[in-house]
Structures are given as C-alpha cells and as structure tokens.
Amino acid sequence: METQISMPDLLQFYAGLAENNEKKWFDERKPLYLAIKSYYENLGMEILANLRKSDPDLPALGPRDISWRIYQDQRFHDRPPYKSWCGLYFAKGGRKSYYPGYYLHMEPGENSYFLCAGIWREEKMILKSVREEIMLNGPEFDRVANPGKGWKVMWDGALARPAQGWPADKPYSRYFRLKQFLIMKNIDTDYLLRPNLPKRVADDFKAAVPFVRYLNRPMDYAIEEWM
C-alpha cells in the first residue's frame, strides 16, 4: 500500500534530518523521503495552478522547475550532505532563471517558515537596472513593495547608505541601499497545517504580484543588455 504523506510528515522528516544530517540516517529513510518529495512537488504544482490565475506571466512549469535537489554539492565546500530545508519557487523561466518570483520556505530545524517574493541575485547588471527603474518610478516601487497584509521589505544585508553613484536626497533613496529586492511574510507551522494550503499560499502571494511584475520590467532590460 502506498504511504499517505501529509504536511506533518514533511515537517517531522526535515526536523529529523537537521539533527541527523548524514548518509546512514538518510539512506534508512530513503523511501519515506521519496514519498515526501512527491508530496511537496504535488503541493507546488497546486500552488502554481492557483498562482497563475493572479500572475499571467508565470508559465506552466514542471516539478524540477520549482524545487531543489536535497543533495548538497560537497565538492568545494565543507557542508552537510543534505539540505535540511524544503523550498518551492515560482518564476518566469523556472527557478534557474534570473526573473523575480515567489518562494515558500520550510525549515523545521531552524523554526524558519516564510513566504518571499522578488529578486535575490546581486549581479551588477540587475542592481543597476532595478535602481534605474526606481529612479524613474519610485512612487510605484514604494507602493508595490509595501502591500500590507504582513508583507515587509527585507533589509537584511542592505548597505548602510545608498550605493555609490546613486542619490541620497531623493524620496526613495533608501531603496538604493538594497542589494536584493525582496519582500517577505513570516508564517508558522499552524499556517502550514491548516486546510487548503495551496490556495492560501497562492492567495497570500497575490498581494506580491504587483511587486514581481514591477521587477520584471528592469529584469527584461538587464537580460537584453547581457544578450
């Protein structure tokens, strides 16, 4: 009989993995992990189906486009063999593209759960293009970056002052401090365990759709420059 997996199983597995991040422990639970992997991939596809109703820029993506392998690359880094977190990312072009998107993070070992939207890459061309867009349309950026409903701009890692070469005396100069353009909403296990999770996640992401679509404009310009 096929194992019936649910969110509590996912949370329990990743909490255990955080404490026992080694091959022997993982191999003994490999069949369970594969069932959990199938569960969260299906969860991601349901979220995507709901989210595409709000953001028509999102294409039809597959499970590999929205999720990560659990295996860590240990060739050049001293790190545990497995990721102790589970994430789902929805973006134009898939998770490997440079386009902004929507991210669900679940990390029981650190009690870290959140929704996030925007651009996390720090390539110079991207930073320049987004900052130019803010120069041209600062009021719009301020509006879409602060949609309320629990969403807040992520200031972690921001510069102490506006980046060199960008004005410090404009109404929206504080945003020139950002090196990543992200908004975040904290959630918890109660949120994850309530019914209708795919629809609720998509509904919460709906508030971030104007922010992501705003960032698609400078991203298009940046990609044109690269090509």
Residue 1 scores a pLDDT above 70: no
pLDDT at 141 over 90: yes
Interval 210-220: pLDDT, tens: 999 999 999 98
Greatest extent of the chain over all pairs of C-alpha atoms, in Å: 66
The count of C-alpha atoms lying within 13 angstroms of the C-alpha of 27, restricted to the half-sphere facing its C-beta, is 4
**pLDDT band at 17; cut points 50, 70, 90:** very high
H-helix or E-strand spanning residue 115: strand 112-119
Give the pLDDT mean for 78-106: 94
Q: Locate 132 and state its tokens.
A: 């130019």
Confidence grade of residue 136 (pLDDT, cut at 50, 70, 90): very high
For residues 163 and 132, is the Cβ–Cβ distance under 8 A?
no
What is the C-alpha to C-alpha distance for residues 41 and 67, in angstroms, rounded to an integer?
Answer: 7
Looking at residue 209, what DSSP letter applies? H
pLDDT in tens, 178-212: 999 999 999 999 999 999 999 999 999 999 999 99
**140 CB-side CA count, 13 A:** 14
Confidence tier at 3 by pLDDT (50, 70, 90): low
- pLDDT (0 to 100) of residue 160: 96
Closest to 34 measured CA to CA, from 70, 88, 84, 72 = 70
- Domain limits, the chain: 7-226
Dist. CA 101–CA 89, nearest whole Å: 7
Q: Mind giving me the DSSP string for 119-162? A: E----HHHHHHHHHHHHHSHHHHHHHT---TT-EE--TT--SSP
**Mean of the per-residue pLDDT values for the chain?**
94
Name the band, by pLDDT with cuts 50, 70 and 90, for residue 2: low
Secondary structure letter of residue 172 according to DSSP: T
